[in-house]
Amino acid sequence: METEIDFYELLEVERTADDKTIKSAYRKLAMRFHPDRNPGDAEAEAQFKAISRAYDCLKDPQKRAAYDRYGHAAYEQAASGGGGGGHPGGFSDIGDIFETIFGSAFGGGGGGGRPRRGADLRYDMEITLEEAFHGKDTEISIEVSQTCEPCHGSGAEPGTDVKRCDTCAGMGKVRAQQGFFVVERACPTCHGRGEVIATPCRACGGEGRVDMPQNLEITVPPGVETGTRIRLSGKGEAGPQGAPPGDLYIFMHVRRHDVFERDGTNLFTKVPITFSKAALGGTVSLPGLDGEWITVNIPAGVQSGEQLRKRGDGMPVLQGRGRGDLIVDIQVETPRKLSSRQKELLREFQQSETQNQCPDSMGFFERIKAGWGKPR
């Protein structure tokens, strides 16, 4: 499971979102989680810091480009670059900082340009609450760019060679004098690779990858919930011309259940009981998600709206031990149609009721009488 939260996911926007959409999403979330609106809420404060950090990266075109290309590592390197004298973050010179963050278009150092990593992909999977309880092994099929088999990802026609770029002599960079500074940038001929393809592969057009279906075995662990993300490293889009592939993220969506509602590891359900069972007590049985029946003891005199807790009968803890609780919300049902005999018995019972038996209702009307006198 991946614990590092994607900046786009934090701001609840797509990776293709424009600056206006990102800014609007940030403002909305910042108002929601701002510490002034959530005094003493450590979780809200942490969320506010996280979305601020994400916006700080995505609002800047260069930082965003670096993040899209290299992920969190690029942003962390950029963040470590501030401070006092010298070269913070352990870099040998300022050129190393820019190259680490923004790639071969900046900075110094030898060697060719970094290969452009394949894009990350998203797959949305819907499961039942029972499947979320037990976990499941399943297979999915997605259309994704994969390494071209004829050229083995090189992009060159089989039997031909990939040649060194003459413009940059295989360095992937060219230098230009600008005043007192020498600026390096990606080679315009080979685009930073240091190599050129004389005869592109006919199967992939020189890309080194082709679109085709991919079947993957997925293991859904017990305890997942809506929003849980499963990361499959290297199962995303293949990189161009032999570059590393991206990752595939499986986003879980748990369907609504007819009986149970979920809150984390706890399950909630409303259980209607008869007036007589509420007064006398008894038991009710519910079908558990594990296939076993759950017996709930109803205490005599239970009131409508009271909640009874069955510890350890909730959802499994994701990647942990134990289970949450089952919370039963009691709903006392008043009889709608009574026979003559039932009405007679209830009238007899009504006449024998005392304030000790019904302290709330009788006490309420006694207070009314004491305050305003008897009704006219």
Tens of pLDDT, residue by residue over 334-347, are 888 889 999 999 89
| 204 labelled ligand-binding | yes
**Does CATH number 2.60.260.20 belong to domain 112-161+198-255?**
yes
pLDDT in tens, 234-292: 898 888 777 788 899 999 999 999 999 999 999 999 999 998 999 999 999 999 998 89
pTM for the whole structure: 0.57
| CB-based contacts of 322, cutoff 8 Å, min separation 6 | 312, 316
The pLDDT value recorded for residue 368 is 63
**Rounded to whole angstroms, what are the CA distances from 65 to 188, 224, 232?**
19, 32, 23
| CB-based contacts of 68, cutoff 8 Å, min separation 6 | 15
pLDDT in tens, 274-289: 989 999 999 999 999 9
| 168 labelled ligand-binding | yes
Amino acid at 269: T
Each domain of the chain, given as residue ranges in start order, spans: 112-161+198-255, 261-336
Closest CA relative to residue 162, chosen from 199, 215, 121? 199
310 in Cβ contact with 296 (< 8 Å): yes
How many angstroms separate the CA atoms of 33 and 156, rounded? 52
Same fold, 112-161+198-255 and 261-336: yes
| 358 labelled ligand-binding | no
Answer yes or no: is pLDDT of 102 > 60.
Answer: no
How many degrees, rounded to 5, is the angle at CA 74 between CA 69 and CA 75? Answer: 120
What's the token pair of residue 111? 């060697």
| 57 labelled ligand-binding | no
**Rounded to whole angstroms, what are the CA distances from 154 to 28, 137, 174, 188?**
45, 35, 23, 19
What's the token pair of residue 296? 């709930």
The rounded Cα 340 to chain-centroid distance in angstroms is 59
> Looking at the domain 261-336, which fold is it?
HSP40/DNAj peptide-binding domain (2.60.260)
- pLDDT top residue among 39 and 71: 39
How many angstroms separate the CA atoms of 179 and 165, rounded? 27
| 201 labelled ligand-binding | yes
What's the token pair of residue 166? 């003459």
> Helix H segments across the chain?
7-10, 19-33, 42-58, 61-70, 72-79, 94-102, 129-134, 275-280, 340-352, 359-372
Map residue 367 onto helix, strand or coil. helix
Give all strands (DSSP E) within 221-354, no chain letters.
229-232, 248-254, 261-263, 266-274, 282-287, 293-298, 307-310, 326-333
Q: Which helix (H) or strand (E) holds 44?
A: helix 42-58
Closest CA relative to residue 226, chosen from 321, 329, 131? 131
How many angstroms separate the CA atoms of 327 and 321, rounded? 20
